[in-house]
Amino acid sequence: MQNDTLFPAGEAILEGLNPAQRAAVLHGSGPLLVIAGAGSGKTRMLVHRMAYLVAGGAAPESILLLTFTRKAAQNMLWRAAQLTGANCRQVMGGTFHATANLLLRQYGRYLDIEPNFSIIDRADAEGIINLIKSSLGQSGADKRFPSKRVILNLISGAVNKNASLEELVMTGAMHLVEFLDDFQEIAGHYAAFKRDHGLMDYDDLLVNWHRLLAECEAARAALSARFQHILVDEYQDTNHLQAEIVRLLAGHGNVMVVGDDAQSIYSFRGADFANIMRFENQFPGVRRVLLEQNYRSTRPILELSNDIIAHAEEHFDKALFTESEGGVLPELAVCANEAAEARFVADRVEQLVAGGLPASEIAVLFRSAFHSFKLEIELAGRSLTFEKRGGLKLTESAHTKDVLAFFRVTVNPRDELSWSRLLLQLDRVGPRTAQKIVRAITAEADPVAALGRYPGRGSWQAQLRQLVACLTSLQGEGQTPAALFDAVMGYYQPVFEKLYFDDYPKRSRDLDQLKALAAGYGDLRAFVDDTALDPPESEAAGESGHRLVLSTIHSAKGLEWTVVFVIGLAVGRFPGQYVLPPGEQWEEERRLFYVAATRAKKRLFLSFPREMFNSGQRVYAGMSSFVAELKPVLYQTVTVEQQGPARAGAGAPRTDAVPEPGLASAASSRLGPSLAPGELLPGMRVGHAFFGPGTISRLPAPGRVEVLFDRHGSKILHLDYARLSKLVD
């Protein structure tokens, strides 16, 4: 099979491949780098490559396929078997970790590793860390020490990122620097414990496979002879250890790595972008094949995607193209604020679904999980079912639940679950004591006053009195949710830093977003009710896979949808406010944007809010730098005001393409201009960005209005934040 020779029966295997795919499949001996653009059929190419090797006489057991998911490996092996027969199933295919496990049991003797070692999972590893903490006197109710999860993250990160614990702490966890010596001591004990008990965690599998190849010449020679053809999928996602394993294993040079530098987005897991960029330097005589023909997206989407990655500081030169004609220009929505952005997306989704597009063919993508909170509330209010992938919903994180508990007992003093959550924050108060207190105070007419009279023990009596003072301050009339939030944080901040000592700086961002949401409400009960909204699972029962998808971009990689929305493309959001150019972090954020855009098949919508709330403060933001650098001719622009239909922006590029049916906003067309506070009158029909149509009931105070909404009931709104428009029937 030298020199791309075609053997009899090989032509059938090559059927349906484009010229670039065919060139990769026909490759003879020596190293091959396949740069496979998004939607370019790289899986198909790998399947046909395996089939071609086997049909050409290569022993199936001499082929090693390395992937990042078991499902991907199984799928490729099954498809290859359909082309050549069942013998393709003898190819060794699986993840790096699964392959390491098999090989270490066979060859571990070279490292004095017994073949009966046990593999421990994440929970097991955390349990061992906890035992070590206890044995070293670093745990207990009175101990202020990082959690087992944080410690294990640091130990694992050091392995996967080829860095020391000191480097990781100094660069990403400076608030834990005082514990650096402790971390190193725990790491040493952890390694010894695993060794003494015949245990390996996931990182050990890679470490020991690498040791086997690097330290044992006989083992490396045996494995290189065994695997004459090595195929690696998603090479851009490899970490330092995985890349070194491939290099050492492929001493014969017969290695094909497939990946896309433009889709390297997992550095937080240890993936190293440099691996794919330096592959050609590690393997002399390497051949490069570019898969550029895209089978997923329309031409306008590809042209915009190409422009995104063209601005990257370092990348392989390629340009995705399609042979399909037509398509609609991507749309950039410049929204007045986050509420307008949420309304824009929800309007479009409703119109697309009404036009016959299944909701499961629509995805809304975002940089971070909390960027969708406004949209979640808007969708839930419209009874639009969705599933969220990647990150927690607003009410699912422990620290957010903690803060909301203060507000929930304020509006419902009989909420025993929230009372228990508040009491368990006190030192030396366990579940039994908390339950005893809850039963006592909720039997009284005024639970807060009853809590103030409760005879607390000396060790936590002072904290109890502080809690009561905080709750009492929340009962005053006329306070906005934002002001009440500040009152809660005056008490909760030191509690928060103590409870979540090891990662409270990261968690603080979630609380900032919660305050931003609170700032948009004039009534506490409305805020509590709306933050409790979840996707209506009961209505979607039995319809799994038929809902609108909300997803972080990281969770969307490898997937595709007919219509994709990318939201939050504002300065400080995408890229994040702590990511500054130049540098690899900035470039990875750009690649993340590219991945998001290339998920779309037929329609792509981009959006950003001009105004956002940050830590309770209204701030004005411009479009993301990654959007600003795009050629304006590659998209059409619409402006979305606080209320009213989206309209073409002044001087915005236009397209002659006819929009798909149902994309004009029927709901928005019934709204008139925004009303000034002096124009609001009881009985007037109005519209709101979140709550839809309603009727003004009364004006309870200056700057406040109570509206009876058709779908959400009565709500009191603060006119500094909420905008109402006259509803034109």
Taking the C-alpha atoms of residue 476 and residue 369, their distance in angstroms, rounded to an integer, is 34
Query: DSSP letters of 39-99?
Result: TS-HHHHHHHHHHHHHHTT--GGGEEEEES-HHHHHHHHHHHHHHH-GGGGGSEEEEHHHH
Look at residue 20 and tell me whether its pLDDT is greater than 80. Answer: yes
What's 278's DSSP letter? Answer: S
% of the chain surpassing 90 pLDDT: 43
Check residue 616 and give its pLDDT: 56
The rounded distance, in Å, linking the Cα atoms of 533 and 528 is: 9
- Predicted confidence (pLDDT) at residue 431 exceeds the cutoff of 90: no
pLDDT reading at 536 higher than 60: no
Name which residue leads in pLDDT, 559 or 514: 559
Contact 707, 714 (CB under 8 A): yes
Q: What is the mean pLDDT of residues 440-454?
A: 88
Looking at residue 661, its pLDDT comes to 29
Task: Quick: pLDDT tens for 397-410.
Answer: 788 889 988 988 88
212-244 pLDDT tens trace? 999 999 999 999 999 999 999 999 999 999 999
At position 632, the amino acid (one-letter code) is P
Distances (CA, A) of 580 to 315, 587, 661: 19, 10, 41
- Is the pLDDT at 510 greater than 70? The verdict is yes
| 3-class SS letters over 166-230 | HHHHHHHCHHHHHHHHHHHHHHHHHHHHHHHCCEECHHHHHHHHHHHHHHCHHHHHHHHHHCCEE
Least confident of 461-465, 649-653, 709-713: 649-653
Residue 664: pLDDT band by 50, 70, 90 thresholds? very low
User: In which band, very low, low, confident or very high, does the pLDDT at 452 lie, cut at 50, 70 and 90?
Assistant: confident
Closest to 168 (Cα-Cα) out of 154, 179, 182: 154
Helix (H, G, I), strand (E, B) or coil at 362: strand
Average pLDDT over the chain, rounded to whole? 84
| Contacts of residue 220, Cβ cutoff 8 Å, sequence gap at least 6 | 212, 213, 214, 248, 249, 251
Question: What is the rounded CA–CA span in Å between residue 336 and residue 612?
Answer: 9
If you average pLDDT over residues 478-484, what whole number do you get?
86
Q: Output the pLDDT for position 114.
A: 84
Whether the model pTM is above 0.85: no
Question: What is the token pair recorded at 83?
Answer: 């082309």
Q: What pLDDT shows up at residue 538?
A: 25
pLDDT band at 131 (very low <50, low <70, confident <90, very high): confident
Q: How confident is the model at residue 569 (pLDDT cuts 50, 70, 90)?
A: very high
Residue 617 phi/psi, 5-degree rounding, is -105, 135
pLDDT in the model for residue 652:
39
Q: Is pLDDT of 657 > 60?
A: no
156-171 pLDDT, tens digit per residue, is 999 988 889 999 898 8
User: What pLDDT band is residue 634 in, cutting at 50, 70 and 90?
Assistant: very high
- How far apart, in whole angstroms, are the C-alpha atoms of residue 469 and residue 480? 18
Write out the two tokens for 553.
Answer: 């971009």
Q: Find tokens 């022993």 and name the residue.
A: 59
Q: Which of 84-88, 382-386, 468-472 tops mean pLDDT? A: 468-472
The stretch 64-78 carries a mean pLDDT of 89
Q: What is the distance between the alpha carbons of residues 103 and 241, in angstroms, rounded to a whole number?
A: 16
Helix ranges (H only) for 198-317 are 202-215, 217-226, 240-249, 274-277, 279-282, 299-310
Which sign does the torsion angle of CA 560, 562, 565, 566 carry?
positive
What value does the mean pLDDT take over residues 161-183? 89
CA 229 to CA 60: how far, in whole Å?
10
In the DSSP assignment, the letter for residue 602 is E
pLDDT digits (tens, 9 = 90+) for 339-354: 899 999 999 999 999 9
Please work out, in degrees rounded to the nearest 5, the angle formed at the alpha carbon of residue 496 by the alpha carbons of 492 and 500: 170
State the pLDDT at residue 398: 82
pLDDT digits (tens, 9 = 90+) for 56-66: 889 999 999 99
Among residues 270, 289, 321, which one has the least CA distance to residue 598?
321
In Å, how far from its chain's centre is CA 276?
A: 23
Higher pLDDT, 114 or 278: 278
pLDDT in tens, 494-508: 989 888 888 788 788
Name the token pair of 135. 């044995």
Beta bridge partners of 641: none
pLDDT at 129: 92
Average pLDDT over residues 5-27: 82
331 or 654, higher pLDDT: 331
**Whole-number Å distance between alpha carbons of 239 and 379:** 39
Number of H helices, E strands in the chain: 28, 23
- How large is the average pLDDT for residues 146-153? 90
pLDDT value for 68: 87
Q: How many angstroms separate the CA atoms of 340 and 674, rounded?
A: 13
pLDDT value of residue 726: 83
Q: Please check the confidence at residue 289 and state whether its pLDDT lies above 80.
A: yes
| Residue 723 CB partners (closer than 8 Å, separation 6+) | 339, 642, 643, 674, 688, 689
